[in-house]
Every structure is written in C-alpha cells, then in structure tokens.
Structure 1
Amino acid sequence: MDESDYLRRLVLITLLCVLPSVYCKDICVKKTPCRCEFPNGTYIDLTPSANNIAFKTLTSLTPRSQDEATLTTYYYHPCHDITMNTLNTKDSITRNNCDKPSALCRHGSVWNKTRPDTLIKFEEYYEYIGSSNDLEFAEDGSYIKYLNKPSQALVFLVCAESDDQLEIKDLSDPSSLELIFYSRNACLKPEHSKVDISAWDFPLMQIACRTLLRMSNAENSTTTTLL
C-alpha cells in the first residue's frame, strides 16, 4: 500500500467515525421560536401557550431600604412577539423600551416613603428584555435564551401538568435574567415522524460525499489500471 492509498483510507475511516457523532448528537434543534426537535423525533412545542393573546405575568416586591421598594412585573409571551398596552399610564412613565413587539418585558415602579406610613410612586419604567426573533434553545431543550446584547434572559422550561406559570429563578446578575416557565407544553412530546434531515448540515454532508466519491473513483481507476 503506497502513501497516497494509505492517506485515502485514513480519511475514509476518519469520516466514518466523525459523521455519526455529528449527526447523531442528542441536540434539540430549533424549528421555530416555539419548537425544537431531537434527532429521535421527540420534541418540545410551546405553540399552545403562545396561542393565548395575553402575556404571562409575574410580580415581585424588592425592598431597597426601609423607606423605598421596587415593584417589578415580568411579562412573557412565548414564541412570537406582541405589543404591550401602556397607554393608561403613559404620563407617569419615565422611560419605555417596550413600545415595540416583544416576547419579554419588565415593568418596574419605584416607591418611596416620603410621608409617614405612605409609599408614593416616583418612578415608573418599561424595559425591553427579548424577542422571539433572537432566541436560542439549549442543546438539551431545558431553556430558551433570549438575546438582547450585551444582556440575555434565560427562561427555563419545566414540565408541569398545570396551567402556565412564570417564576423567578435568579436575579443576582443584572445582565442575565433567569426565569422559570412551568407548563404542560414544556413536556417532551413523543416522536411524531421520522428523523427530519432538514436539521442536518448539508454543506458538510456534501463535502463528505464528494470526498468519498473521489476516493471511490480513485480506487476504481487504480484497479482498472492494474487489470
């Protein structure tokens, strides 16, 4: 066996070893902003949750000091963006970044005890957090990452046989909000069809196939010459 023949066989063996690991990797591939699918056909689909025209909300109170507190509400709408109605409080808003369609938005109001035993609102704002146009599924399908560079928001998906519910997971990092979305639609669904080859990396497959074809032709040419 000459050196060129040895190299061709080495490339063939490498491709045969690498390609299965690439295309059989257990990754939940994003199909739509609502849905990701694993190679075995199982999938997660939040579409039913997004069919509701209203946001899912979560409100929390964070005391800043004895005389000041912030009331925060998170608005979440999976899969596609909708516009918030902030007209009723327009005059009291200090800033509003949620005046465009969004999947994640945060409303905050800061209250101060400027009079004894009385909290008075002195600041109100809406902050855009993320859109369905710029999101990624985790490889294992455990969360959706909404990108709003330099910040991001992670919405962890938890299978629950109950109505959709939103909770806070971690607010310690201002640049990386973490929420939890409990839903029956976050449960892994059984295979509905054969493996979808549309998720494959076709350029890589084409390169591999062309390489294998050239190697096969070279082998056949060598054999013909020898005969």
Structure 2
Amino acid sequence: MDESVYFRRLVLITLLCVFPSIYCKDVCAKKTPCRCEFPNGTYIDFTPSAKNIAFKSLTSYEPLSRGEARLTTFYYHPCHDIMMDTKNSPTWNPCDKPSALCWQYSSWNNTLPDTLTKLQEGYEYIGSSNYSEFAEDGSYIKYLNPPSQTLVFLVCAESDDRLEIKDLSDPSTIKLIFYSRNACLQPDHSKLDISTWNIPLIQIACKTLLSMTNAENSTRTTTV
C-alpha cells in the first residue's frame, strides 16, 4: 500500500476516534443566565422562577462567643438582576443596584436578659446574572465577583422555589442551594429531528474519504 494512502487512512481513523469526544462532549452549554442545553437536546431552564418580582431569601443564626450571635441573610433572584429595597438600610449598602445575589450580615449581643443589641450590620454585593456561567454538568451556576465567587447549586425538587446555605467555610467561594421544579432536566424533542443536526465530524470524514479515494485512483492510474 502506498505510504500516502496509509497515512490518509490513519488520519481518518484518528478523526473518527477523537472528534466524537470533542463534538459530543456532554456539556450543558449556556444559552441564557437561566438556561443551558446538552448536545442530546435535554436542557435545564428555570426561567419561570424569575417571574417572582422579589428575591428569594434565607436567614441563618449562628451563636458566637461572649454572648454574641450573627444573623446572615442571602437574597437571590435568578435569570435577571432586580433592585433590592434599601430604603430602611441604616448603613451604606452596595446592593443598591440591580443584582442577582446580595449578602446581608449583622452581629448581636444578648448578654442582657430578654435584650438584643445590634453591634454591627453590613451588606455585600456578590453576584450578577450578567457575570454567570453554568457548570459543565449543569449542576450549579457560578456567579463571578472577582476575587470571589458564589456557586448556586441547582436541585430538582417538586416544591416551591427554596434557597438554602450549602457551605460558608470559604469566604471567597460562597455555596448556596436552589431547590426548584424548574431546575429539573427537561427533554427537547425537536432536537431529535436529524434535519436540524450540524455534525462537523461527518463533513470531515466525507472529505477525508474523498481525498483517500482520489489518492488511490491516482496511484492505480500511475501504476498502469
């Protein structure tokens, strides 16, 4: 067999082995801040959750030493940024602009019986829908706020939308959980229509086979 023909066949085999892993990689590609799609047509889309005009919020209580305690509240609105009500905020609030995520924290002293004294209060802007990206497997959305980030893990749940804290041990990477029926993986039957497919692998393989055929025909003609 002519070396050039052997080489072309080797290239074809390589293309057939390598390209599927590139073009068929199981990645949920971001389409909007609330939707990502897998190559097989399935998708995650919790756009309906954004119809709520208010933030989803959760508050956690953490007792500290010396009779002090900390209250932490996270506010989350998926898909697009909205304004937070800051009219009654006693301190400077960086969440006074449209955002997807805001963090409110305060510390209290309860050493006196039946008395709570606020020691400190603050707000921190931690995310915008304009600066977000889906995990490759669609399991969470990363909201970038360099040098920090917030990960909102998506959990399919047949219940009303609910926000929970997952992990706050690393201040540079806040981890929250968003439970929603809209976070469930959905089928897209339209992607099963082969007429809508765009498969570069087939195009490349056909061109390579045509090149191989021409090369073999040329070799035979020369030999004769």
Determine if the TM-score, normalized by the shorter chain, exceeds 0.5. Answer: yes
- 1:12–1:212 contact (8 Å) kept in structure 2: no
Q: Deviations over 1:182-210 (max 9, x none)?
A: 1110111122411699998x9xx49x956
Q: CA deviation at 1:31?
A: 1.1
- 2:9–2:212 contact (8 Å) kept in structure 1: no
Instruction: Tell whether 2:50 aligns with 1:50.
Output: yes
2:60 aligned counterpart, secondary structure: strand
- 2:168–2:174 contact (8 Å) kept in structure 1: yes
- The verdict on how the C-alpha distance between 1:151 and 1:195 changes in structure 2, with shifts beyond 3 A counting, is farther
- The verdict on how the C-alpha distance between 1:172 and 1:101 changes in structure 2, with shifts beyond 3 A counting, is same
Instruction: Tell whether 2:148 aligns with 1:151.
Output: yes
Q: CA deviation at 1:139?
A: 1.8
4+ runs of 1 displaced by more than 4 Å? 113-117, 195-200, 208-212
Q: CA deviation at 1:217?
A: 3.8
Counterpart CA distance in 1 for 2:197 and 2:35 is 13
Q: Which runs of 5+ in 1 are unaligned?
A: none
- 2:8–2:212 contact (8 Å) kept in structure 1: no
* 1:29 corresponding residue in structure 2: 29
For structure 1, which segment, 79-88 or 209-218, has the greater mean C-alpha deviation from structure 2 after superposition? 209-218
1:105 aligned counterpart, secondary structure: strand
2:176 aligned counterpart, secondary structure: strand
* 1:184 corresponding residue in structure 2: 181
* 1:4 corresponding residue in structure 2: 4
Q: Which runs of 5+ in 2 are unaligned?
A: none
Name which of 219, 223, 226 aligns with 2:217.
223
Counterpart CA distance in 2 for 1:222 and 1:140 is 44
Aligned length: 220
TM-score w.r.t. the length of structure 1 is 0.84
Counterpart CA distance in 2 for 1:33 and 1:84 is 19
TM-score w.r.t. the length of structure 2 is 0.85
Instruction: Tell whether 2:10 aligns with 1:14.
Output: no
Identity across matched positions, percent: 69
- 2:73–2:105 contact (8 Å) kept in structure 1: yes
Q: CA deviation at 1:24?
A: 2.0
Give the number of the structure with larger relative contact order, counting CA–CA contacts within 8 Å between residues 6 or more apart: 2
* 2:136 corresponding residue in structure 1: 139
Counterpart CA distance in 1 for 2:98 and 2:49 is 17
- What's the Cα RMSD here? 2.8
